[in-house]
Amino acid sequence: MNEDKSFSDSIYEGQTHLAEREVSAFIGAVTELYGEEQARLSAEDWLDESELMDSPPRAEVRHWRAVTIVASARLANRVNIGAASSKAAPHIDK
């Protein structure tokens, strides 16, 4: 029984490490390309999506890249909507 717990903890630690690497790389790229505000919003999107994953929390395999893809799609939508809004109503200095 102790072996099962140790194996389970090992899997959990491995998955946690993979998730941390994935979200860190994603947020780093978003920060570099779009700034801190979009990075903050994207981190929230990533965490929200990770909670919606179908696999149970201690599953042996989790697809963190799929979480990043969904968060990236949300970012693209947000950025495209913002760009469209700024084109529709340009700022005019008086």
Extents of the domains making up the chain: 2-87
pLDDT, tens digit, 9 for 90 and up, residues 46-89:
999 998 887 665 566 778 999 999 999 999 999 998 888 776 55
Dist CA 61 CA 18 (whole Å): 10
Q: Model-level pTM?
A: 0.74
Q: What is the pLDDT of residues 21-46, one digit of tens each?
A: 999 999 999 999 999 999 999 999 99
* Residue whose token pair is 């700022």: 91
Provide the pLDDT confidence category of residue 4 given band limits of 50, 70 and 90. Answer: low
**31 C-beta neighbours (distance < 10 Å), count:** 16
Residue length, the chain?
A: 94
